[in-house]
């Protein structure tokens, strides 16, 4: 038995019922046998047309002999049917549902990346504007200080950000590309 296997999924016997289902199998099997026995006894006693009690007991016993086997087969079919349906569900899930889930994941990742880029650009613009404003403010203060002191001020104004320069022609008009 492997380490990652559920011990309750081991088979109990040749009936091929997992241990975890053995209790419910036993209950269903017992109910089937009891219900069939009640119907057979009721039929043989009321409609069997037997002359005496011995004939009735023999008829009931003959009919009841096959009931446990039929109940066991029907229970096994029920439990194996459940496993078969689960197998089909898993197989169909792998074939049909998993590709849909993967497509949704890819769409979600694409959408998340697009939202991230949009937010990143917006934050970058704000930070760039703040930084440009600080540069111009500092340059302007230095200009005012130089004027108050009567000193010449030949410091060039701050440069525009590189991406701004790349998007605009030298004459200041927006580039059409």
Provide the domain limits for residue 60.
9-110
Contact between 56 and 50 (Cβ < 8 Å) = yes
Q: Is residue 148 part of a domain?
A: no
pTM: 0.41
Strand-pair partners of 174:
168
Q: Is residue 101 part of a domain?
A: yes
pLDDT tens digits along 143-177: 888 889 888 888 888 876 665 555 555 555 554 44
Q: Is residue 161 part of a domain?
A: no
pLDDT tens digits along 82-116: 777 787 888 887 788 888 888 989 998 899 888 88
Q: Across all residues in the chain, what is the average pLDDT?
A: 80
Element (H, E) at 130: helix 98-149
Q: Is residue 13 part of a domain?
A: yes
Q: Is residue 67 part of a domain?
A: yes
Mean pLDDT for the stretch of residues 13-19: 63
Q: What is the dihedral of CA 69, 42, 59, 52, to 10 degrees?
A: 160
Mean pLDDT for the stretch of residues 14-32: 80
In angstroms, rounded to a whole number, what is the distance separating the alpha carbons of residues 56 and 24? Answer: 33
Q: Is the pLDDT at 5 greater than 50, yes or no?
A: yes
Q: Is residue 3 part of a domain?
A: no
Q: Is residue 27 part of a domain?
A: yes
- In the chain, the number of structural domains is 1
Q: Is residue 168 part of a domain?
A: no
């Amino acid at each position: 038995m492997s380490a990652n296997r559920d011990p309750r999924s081991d088979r109990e016997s040749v009936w091929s019922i997992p241990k975890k289902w053995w209790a419910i199998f036993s209950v269903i099997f017992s109910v089937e046998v009891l219900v069939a026995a009640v119907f057979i006894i009721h039929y043989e006693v009321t409609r069997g047309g037997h002359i005496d009690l011995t004939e009735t007991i023999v008829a009931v016993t003959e009919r009841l002999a096959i009931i446990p086997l039929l109940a066991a087969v029907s229970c096994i079919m029920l439990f194996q049917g459940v496993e078969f349906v689960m197998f089909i569900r898993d197989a169909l899930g792998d074939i049909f549902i998993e590709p849909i889930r993967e497509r949704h994941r890819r769409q979600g990742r694409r959408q998340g990346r697009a939202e991230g880029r949009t937010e990143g650009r917006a934050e970058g613009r704000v930070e760039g504007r703040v930084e440009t404003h600080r540069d111009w403010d500092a340059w302007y203060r230095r200009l005012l200080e130089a004027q108050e002191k009567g000193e010449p001020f030949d410091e060039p104004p701050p440069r525009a950000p590189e991406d701004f320069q790349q998007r605009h022609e030298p004459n200041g008009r927006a580039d059409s590309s």
